[in-house]
Structure 1
């Protein structure tokens, strides 16, 4: 039997292959699945996907991805319903090996695409589409610090379980510096679905309450921690800012703006997130630290898709190709480490008891890895080529004991 459909299949009994990345490295192995998790033992019989010489890797856990915004609003002022957009995004995620996605949903004083109404559409679409989505979809709430009128709303969302991770953002100072740049203000206004003068007025109104921001953010962070949510601070500009947020319980430094800030975060034991597109491009598009250099220096623990879903897969392989780190080490940056940082102890590695989230990768063409199969919770959710499925009793390879550290 062969499976080539993207539709949800019946649960697999396992997967076998000659290059399976487990806790002990890349080895020949057969993994059994049971109730959506990697089993302690290989079942005696059942459908087993045979990956042969293709790579079998843990599914990617993406803690920050906002490329969905382009599916919702592909052009300024042109928006589409979230349900259809998310179905498209879900297929993109599966095709690029992302089995768990934290959508970077922004709640900002800007309004429009990054306002409350659009966020609510995301929540509603996720609830509606839950049974048909292939990947695991969660919300990374990007709260703009100066949006004081939105604090109660965000607190209610966190209390209701709608949010999986909170990040404190503050883009207002940068926007304020650009208020005289007609081109940039027009971009901001189009995203906010208003005219340029209205956007400037919103920015000025948010700025006038700056003195209230620190106390409000402390309240937000405390509430998130009380709800058991991981908390990140975004674009930390300096050591003092990272220390400030660390003291309040923000243990993730997301896209720090200087090498010194990243170094301070690691000294404090915090996770440091950089963008996988930064690795692919060889530089940050905003002048932030070079992510490849940060990985090499041990100052990056997590790579996120940021604005480009193909990036985590490709960045990990590029790091290995460059010799910055071997593939198992690079893969931790997009699977095990982000899962840990996000508080998801049930995924991120192919080990007994963890979720059976795995991808099959064709890496025969150097520099262009291709996901040809994606398994989520033990079910084949995406296939881009014919993948043989055999009876697990005939797999004839090592069992889970070969995956031990």
Structure 2
């Protein structure tokens, strides 16, 4: 049996309040909570710092950059996965659903070729006890790609899999409802001349017409059979939301408009927005600002997306906003609410009997700094 760890003199972020207190950790779980400090040999004095639940990240493609740190440069899988894992721990993220893509509009993308290695590398560091934090798998399914359904079937029974999102980045809808915006984005991204761009658009439209609806329905049915949490992606209209509800979707990832976000929230889907959207003051693609959804009270979950350190920063920013959330509600967007959305009932809160996933945070000049991180009671940063 492991010896008790006692953390004292901390501001504990609980479900509905922040209290000055102490907690006891034993065998990876929170054994007890007490108000006020304690004086015992060997206790850890948190010096009045904030102690909050470890953050739960549902959607990050951060891992990809470690597998391909430069164009056409591949990195060994275990080393790449461990470097990514270390960054998650340092950011205060103790459970991460690593998002890997099935299908890509860019046929030259590394995503297709690296998919198997990324998944096997995550399993490797988990199974060998090398990971600092708890890694799960989030399959991002590009439904307009011809091979998506077959590739999904090859991964759908992985024990790592906990979340599936359905995406369609074809032109003329959702994130790219404006064809002009689509042309600007992909012409700049891939350096296409006008003729090549038009051929690219024509191919994406044909693929969407041929595959999107059938793949969306088939994957949703397979997820329902397996009890897998399902997420929509870039819903823009009430009709999109209705379709997502039809498929039993639990999470509305990055709705692009106020009407889609409000409809999703109203019908019980957890609305997720990017933490970079909060930190930068708006969407980089001109969609709805996360801060506006906070003021409307319909933002449920924050995701670091492509920048892990943004998650903690965004939590404290929305807690400091005029008409923002109080600290417990802000913290819940990165802990309790994502846990609830994917059915993890053993974490996401500071409460007796739950996993001791914890982050000690000190505010310096208005900025939250990670001091210590525990995952299942083990200090990992």
Task: Please list every run of 5 or more consecutive structure 2 residues that lacks an aligned counterpart in the other structure.
Answer: none
**Matching residue within 9, 26, 29 for 1:17:** 9
Contact 1:16–1:48 (8 Å) recurs in 2? yes
Alpha-carbon distance in 2 for matches of 1:136, 1:91: 12
User: What's the offset of the Cα at 1:68?
Assistant: 2.1
Q: Is the 8 A contact 2:50 2:360 kept in 1?
A: yes
Which residue number in structure 2 is paired with residue 153 of structure 1?
Answer: 151
The match for 1:387 is: none
Q: CA deviation at 1:233?
A: 0.7
Compute the displacement of 1:200 (Å).
Answer: 5.8
Distance 2:360 2:71 in 1: 37
Alignment match, 1:169: 167
Provide the TM-score with structure 1 as the length reference.
Answer: 0.82
Q: Secondary structure of the equivalent of 2:361?
A: strand
Inter-CA distance 169–30: structure 2 relative to 1 (3 Å threshold): same
Q: Which moves more between the two structures, 275-284 or 44-53?
A: 44-53
Give the direction of change, closer, same or farther, for the CA distance of 1:205–1:93 in structure 2 (3 Å limit): closer
Bigger relative CO (Cα 8 Å, ≥ 6 apart): 1
8 Å contact from structure 2 (residues 236, 259) kept in 1: no
Contact 1:61 1:334 in 2 (8 A): yes
Q: Which residue of 2 aligns with 1:379?
A: 378
* C-alpha distance 170-180 of structure 1, shift in aligned 2 (>3 A): closer
1:198-235 deviations in Å (ceiling 9; x for gaps): 99669727724624431221110111122111100100
Evaluate the alpha carbon distance shift between residue 206 and residue 342 of structure 1 in structure 2; reply closer, same or farther with a 3 A threshold: same
Deviation at 1:31, TM superposition (A): 1.5
Does the 8 Å contact 2:8/2:23 carry over to 1? yes
Whether contact under 8 Å (2:145, 2:207) holds in the other structure is no
* Aligned CA-pair RMSD: 3.0
**TM-score normalized by structure 2?**
0.87
CA change 1:180–1:269 in 2 (3 A) is closer
Stretch deviating more after TM superposition (28-37 or 309-318) = 28-37
TM-superposed deviation, 1:189:
8.2
Contact 1:274/1:304 (<8 A) preserved: yes
What residue is the counterpart of 2:139 in the other structure?
141
State the shift of 1:61 in Å.
0.6
Work out the CA distance in 2 between the residues paired with 1:12 and 1:53. 21
Indicate conservation of the 8 Å contact 1:165/1:342, yes or no.
yes
* Deviations, residues 308-361 of structure 1 (Å, cap 9, x unaligned): 101110011111222312211111111111111122111110111211000111
3-state secondary structure, aligned to 1:159: coil
Q: How many aligned positions are there?
A: 367
Secondary structure of 1:172's counterpart equals coil
